[in-house]
Structure 1
Amino acid sequence: METPIVKTPQEKPVIKGSFASPEAVAHIMTQKFVIYSPLYRQEQDLKRQGVELTRQTMSNWILKASQLWLEPIYEKLRELLIKEEVIHADETTLQVLKTKEKPTPKKAYMWLYRTSGCSEKNIVLYDYKPNRKIENAENFLEGFNGYIHADGYQGYHKLGDNFTVVGCWAHCRRKFAEALEMISKDERANSTAGIALDYCNQLYAIEKK
């Protein structure tokens, strides 16, 4: 007489062929990107608890899980974003310690794209690029037709006829506020900078209302 063997259905692994669990990968990502604990510190902390898990393995888990599970969500969000009428765009410097192309520290850029305050869907997406070339925004926003709300970077004006660049009043107001500091208090109210600042404040009041 044979004894039947019943197998418990196995859950689909977060990474095929790996013993990584969704909870483990989520914890490592949270520690790295939210708590700002680098992988070498996580490696040391796990070792103190008797867990042998190298930073290279953790790095591979992050990369593979991001590719399999997060990139499709990211691309779907990008599809929704470019259907909007208004998109906010900005780019900021980011120091990269080491890359294959350049082993010494260098300056790269993190590009940011997000929906406006009037949008029903709140979407914020980051796009890492090694430079500030406007082709980066052009490629990311392919298919978009509407208003680009940005700072004074002239590159946005080279995007093409599908894009209408609109300026940022926060950046504009800042310059008038700085100019006002150079004027005596008695002359500020009637100065060009003072009148401009008051105009900006009125716009802000309307927006807040």
Structure 2
Amino acid sequence: MADTGGKLKPCYAMANWILASSRDWLTPLVNLLHQKMLKEQYLHADETTVQVLQEEGRKDTTDSYMLVYSTGQYCKTPIRIFEYQPGRSGHYPQKFLKGFKWYLHTDAYAGYKKVPEITRCFCWAHLRRNFVDALPKDIKSPEATIPSQGIEFCNNLFEIEKTLKELSSEERKRQRLEQEKPVLDAFFGRG
């Protein structure tokens, strides 16, 4: 740092203000939201890679992860918390979700198996993406392929869900059993 007569350069002063604000004001708020989140029945979790430059003890090319935890779509108090982690180990969600005992909606990443006493629910959007990736790129009629059929099942579920948004949770459950169960039975070969 250059000598500025005992004063911090403006950029360092601003960084210190942000750090102090986060420590003194934002961290307690996030901790409160985190405790409230763990009391919900339905949570969503996902992670994505981020590149962190000049992180002590790590190469700039090493993958780090941003985990996001979110309350469900129909929750009265929407909460979304982002948590940086240097890796993708399942012990990170296990620690973050300690005390949560309900339904966790995720992709099929095995790391979430480390979270005890939850019911894992898998994401149809992630499954659909796998079907899209499996579509043959070199044929003239991909609509006749098995991946295309999988995409169609997912699309049918998404269309039904759009029509259920405004219903009460009880009516939404009833309609899902009535409208979506046949689609799911056909998908799993039970129809």
Same topology, TM > 0.5: yes
- The alignment of Structure 1 onto Structure 2 pairs a total of residues equal to 155
Correspondent of 2:46 among 66, 78, 90? 90
Aligned to 2:99: 143
Aligned to 1:33: none
Give the superposed CA RMSD. 1.9
Correspondent of 2:151 among 170, 187, 197? 197
Query: Partner amino acid for 2:135?
Result: L
**Structure 1 residue 187: Cα displacement:** 6.4
Q: CA offsets per residue over residues 88-135 of structure 1, 9 Å max, x none?
A: 111111111113334x42322111100111212211101111111111
Q: Secondary structure at the match of 2:84?
A: strand
Unaligned runs of 5+ in 1: 1-51
Q: CA offsets per residue over residues 29-50 of structure 1, 9 Å max, x none?
A: xxxxxxxxxxxxxxxxxxxxxx
Q: CA offsets per residue over residues 172-203 of structure 1, 9 Å max, x none?
A: 112222333447454624x4323322211110
Residues 65 and 130 (structure 1), Cα distance of their counterparts in 2 relative to 1, 3 Å cut: same
**Structure 1 residue 155: Cα displacement:** 0.8
TM-score by length of 1: 0.67
Distance in structure 2 (CA, Å) of the matches to 1:180 and 1:145: 37
Unaligned runs of 5+ in 2: 1-7, 164-191
Residues 178 and 110 (structure 1), Cα distance of their counterparts in 2 relative to 1, 3 Å cut: closer
Correspondent of 2:109 among 153, 162, 167? 153
TM-score by length of 2: 0.73
Q: Within 5 Å, which residues of 2 pair with 1:62-141?
A: 62-102=18-58, 104-105=59-60, 106-141=62-97
**Structure 1 segments of 4+ aligned residues over 6 angstroms from their partners:** none
